[in-house]
Amino acid sequence: MTMLSLRWRPSLTYFPLTQFTSLQLQSQSLNLRSLPCPQSPICFPSNKLFPRPSSALPHISTSLCSFNGEVEPYLRCSMPHKHLRVAVLLSGGVDSSVALRLLHAAGHSCTAFYLKIWFQEDFENFWSECPWEDDLKYARDVCGQVEVPLEVVHLTDEYWKNVVSYIIEEYCCGRTPNPDVLCNTRIKFGAFMDAISSMGFDYVATGHYANVIHPYSDKMDEPSVLRISQDMVKDQTYFLSHLSQSQLKRLIFPLGCISKDEVRRLAAKFDLPNKDRKDSQGICFLGKIKFSEFVARHIGEREGIILEAETGDFLGKHRGFWFHTIGQRQGLRLPGGPWYVVEKDVKNNIVFVSRNYFSFDKRRRLFRVGSLKWLSGLPPHQTSQLQCKVRHGPGFYNCSLQWEGNEDDRKETAVVHLSDDDQGLAAGQYAAFYEGRTCLGSGVILESWDDQGFPVCTKALEIARMEDKSKLGNPVKIKGKSDSPQVYNPTDGTAKHHEAGRGSQVASATKQRSRTVERYAVSIFSFNWLQKFWQK
């Protein structure tokens, strides 16, 4: 078990009523008292992390929220047929608040936890704009409505070590990690879950849009199953796809059977203090800090050049390859676009761009995936008729897996074949695999594209290897994009335009299809959290 130091600050720990306080701060160490529960009180064992207090709180009876005919149909994913002791992770947002109220309405004994996961002194000037204090106030008010105790947990050290430092390391290697997946596996359902493992809670609940199907009590040896939520657009199984079976078995997601619109209606019905609050977006530990500012503070800046992949033309300069990701459009500041980042040379600090990122001769249906983890603990029996998500959102691809290595290997790496092209594959992101509505697991994307990457011409590669880039002089004057798409010639490493005489109708149709694909791909990219942080 991971031993943590959970630090409570008296000024930040709120309880709706003093008699419901279950924490007591003594010499900066945590002492827990038995939580009030009318039927089966929670008894916390004594250990070094949570020493038993010298006295216990008197037993207090609490009345359960009576079922309302309009609320009861929404309790299908809250296990209303049982009486459970549930630790609810409360963020201050609408989703987790409605999840808490549903669990309370189902008759469970709930304790809410607010995770304060990241604060760094270097960013103290930015935190005046961080909404975490508002989040905590909303969480306190939501708990106060139904007299549920709220406890504030500081996991800053754990979050820095297991999430933030990993993100920095991955960007330095030219990859694009996903902090949401890491936060779920390593913090919310990792460090936090380990810390409360001996506290008597039956389950941990959050406001995720996902559905966990647990086996019947007489078949507890069978695995729990993660399934897509009722709301396909809000479904968050992608972010939960890298959990282990032991983590999954301890989870409840009350919103798995409810759509986002219904959650908003329930928030109004419960008259929640945050019922009109907008959904949060972006990386949880940044608040309102721009991602580029975070990267600059922790990785720094190193000037490099931008080259056109097809011609090798010197187009401009950048602050460091780690500020850019494959498929990025915003932030390049190049005229005559749109331009897209198509490749990066990590060793030489080069960013390759192209205006033909969505042309049909750039097929992207094949990539390798590693660090595979299966929610059941075992790889799927059949691998030829699966579905795949390469980012959060409602879009799926039909796909197949081909294991690498011998049958005796642990099958931790595989080659993925997609049924259609995808222009947004980025090393470091996750690919989640499904069979019908069941999420099977996920792995980390290692390499993209069918060959070695987006085709980069010989001239561009030679310039990238130049030691003295000052010899390039000034960037070239960028001309407007030609109406006819460029075709890469692998023989001589050059890009040429189609001849006009090959049929204007074909060229016009190709151009129109390319624009349609571009609009579709850009709409998919709106689901990618990373795109929000490249805008200057």
Rounded to 5 degrees, what are φ and ψ at 437?
-95, 5
Query: HEC states along 219-249?
Result: HCCCCCEEECCCCCCCCCHHHHCCCCHHHHC
CA–CA dist 28, 9 (Å, integer): 9
CA–CA dist 354, 135 (Å, integer): 42
Q: If we measure between CA atoms, which residue out of 232, 199, 231, 184 comes closest to residue 85?
A: 199
Q: Does residue 183 have an active-site annotation?
A: yes
Indicate the helix (H) or strand (E) that contains 262.
Answer: helix 260-269
In 57-193, DSSP assigns E strands to 85-89, 109-116, 150-154
CA–CA dist 376, 199 (Å, integer): 26
**∠ Cα 234 177 367 (to 5°):** 90
Got the DSSP string for 339-369? -EEEEEETTTTEEEEES-TT-TTS---EEEE
List the catalytic residue out of 284, 388, 399, 457: 284
CA–CA dist 290, 280 (Å, integer): 15
Q: Please say whether the beta carbons of 429 and 370 come within 8 A.
A: no
CA–CA dist 61, 276 (Å, integer): 32
The number of residues in the chain equals 536
Q: Does residue 284 have an active-site annotation?
A: yes
The partner residues of 204 in beta bridges, in order of sequence, read: 87, 251
CA–CA dist 283, 292 (Å, integer): 12
List the catalytic residue out of 77, 183, 388, 399: 183
Q: Please say whether the beta carbons of 437 and 227 come within 8 A.
A: yes
Contacts of 114 (CB under 8 A, 6+ apart): 89, 90, 91, 92, 135, 136, 139, 150, 151, 152, 153
Identity (one letter) of the amino acid at 377?
A: G
The partner residues of 496 in beta bridges, in order of sequence, read: 487
Rounded (10°) angle between helices 260-269 and 94-105: 70
Determine the distance from the C-alpha atom of residue 224 to the mean position of all C-alpha atoms in its chain, rounded to a whole number. Answer: 22
In 350-451, DSSP assigns E strands to 350-354, 366-374, 386-389, 397-403, 414-418, 430-435, 438-447
CA–CA dist 369, 340 (Å, integer): 24
Q: In 384-503, which ranges are continuous DSSP H helix?
A: 458-464
Active site residues: 183, 284
